[in-house]
Amino acid sequence: MIAARILVSEVGPRDGLQSISSIMPTAAKLAWITAEAAAGVREIEVGSFVPATLLPQLADTDQVVRAARLIPGLTVAVLVPNLQGAQAAIAAGAHKITLPLSVSETHSLRNLRRTHAQVIAEARAIAQLIRSLPAGQRPHFEGSLSTVFGCTLEGPIAEDQIARLADALMAAGCDEVGLADTSGYADPAAVRRLIRLVRGVVGEGALTGIHLHNTRGLGLANALAAIEAGITTLDSSMGGLGGCPFAPGASGNLVTEDLCFMLAAMGVETGIDLPELLEVRKLIAAGLPGEALYGFTALAGLPLGFQSTGRADGAGRSGGNGQADGTKRADGTKRADSTGPSDGIGQLDGTGRADGPGKAA
């Protein structure tokens, strides 16, 4: 069963920007983050606390975190590779810290230069540091199981190894674990299988999020499989920036705009105003001259009469509790006219609602 409300967690300022050679100026990053938060995105991974020599694109993460945390209602997330990164993240005031653990040890050694045991030790040290903070100042701590759907160096990873590492991250003190399709190998059946596997180890409440790529065009299919399996947080990147775009023309990351379109079309509440979100692309394009932005929704535009589920505080929406089951939404009180959903909150009538997603294809 799909949750009535899904949290779309934007990772573009981290995953997107780390994968391209252009360096976005700090002011442009903050303009992007501010505008996306204003469009209703409530969690944004704004950077990574890694040495600037490794990722000069993210050298200003400290500054970005400090500014972003002033945005009301926004959860400011960061990636950290180790305890030192976590210390910097906490000093800057990040609300959420994610430590990646590559379930492929070859990948872990190659990318982080650390064995599994060493990464688990870092997780334990970070959890201890967080526990030493006063209650109310403790960031949420997630251990992300990366390359979990397969590794470009090792291929498929044994499920008992994945289960053991998920358990080890929780035992080390993580608040939850996440699944990350680092290599873009996932398919909907594997998504369902691994969610079941890992939830069987850590419990339902300790696996709520998934990080999917669109490397082979299965990003949205995988996202649908994930939410049908009970996942409530989906990572994605504006313009599909980042990820592993091996194939020309393919975005690397799941495209935030397309994901939000799918969810809105299905009547799943995200709190995001889609027309306003699409406007944010202009800021990103301005901050990254020459970089390609992907995504079908931005190219095709919203369907005639499309109803964005919009923000939870929006007037005239579907009953206030975010449960948009189609019946409630089919009230047609604010149907868009022939000029299209210029006000961004136009609603579909019952007929259009029923086959909305199909028509968009």
Q: Which residues sit at the interface with Zn ion, rule CB under 5 A?
A: 15, 243
Nearer to Zn ion, 216 or 335 (CB): 216
Tokens standing for 80? Answer: 């950290």
Tell the smallest beta-carbon distance from residue 341 to Zn ion (Å).
31
Determine the Cα–Cα distance for residues 136 and 348; give it in Å rounded to an integer. 43
Choice among 151, 174, 244, 260 that is catalytic: 244
Determine the Cα–Cα distance for residues 223 and 62; give it in Å rounded to an integer. 31
Nearer to Zn ion, 32 or 149 (CB): 149
Tell the smallest beta-carbon distance from residue 187 to Zn ion (Å).
17
Tell the smallest beta-carbon distance from residue 146 to Zn ion (Å).
8
Q: Are strands 233-236 and 96-102 parallel, antiparallel or unpaired?
A: unpaired
Q: Torsion angle, CA of 256/261/264/270, rounded to 10 degrees?
A: 10
Tell the smallest beta-carbon distance from residue 213 to Zn ion (Å).
6
Nearer to Zn ion, 243 or 356 (CB): 243
To the query of whether residue 244 is one of the catalytic residues in this protein, the response is yes
Q: What's the Rg (C-alpha) of the chain?
A: 20
Nearer to Zn ion, 190 or 264 (CB): 190
Tell the smallest beta-carbon distance from residue 318 to Zn ion (Å).
32
Torsion-angle region of 94 (φ positive above 0: left; ψ -120 to 50: alpha; else: beta): beta
Nearer to Zn ion, 243 or 346 (CB): 243
Other beta carbons within 10 angstroms of residue 84's beta carbon come to: 15
Q: Three-class SS of residue 239?
A: helix
With residues binned 3-state (H G I as helix, E B as strand, rest as coil), the percentages for the chain, rounded to 5, are 40, 15, 45
Determine the Cα–Cα distance for residues 36 and 342; give it in Å rounded to an integer. 19
User: Which residues carry out catalysis?
Assistant: 244
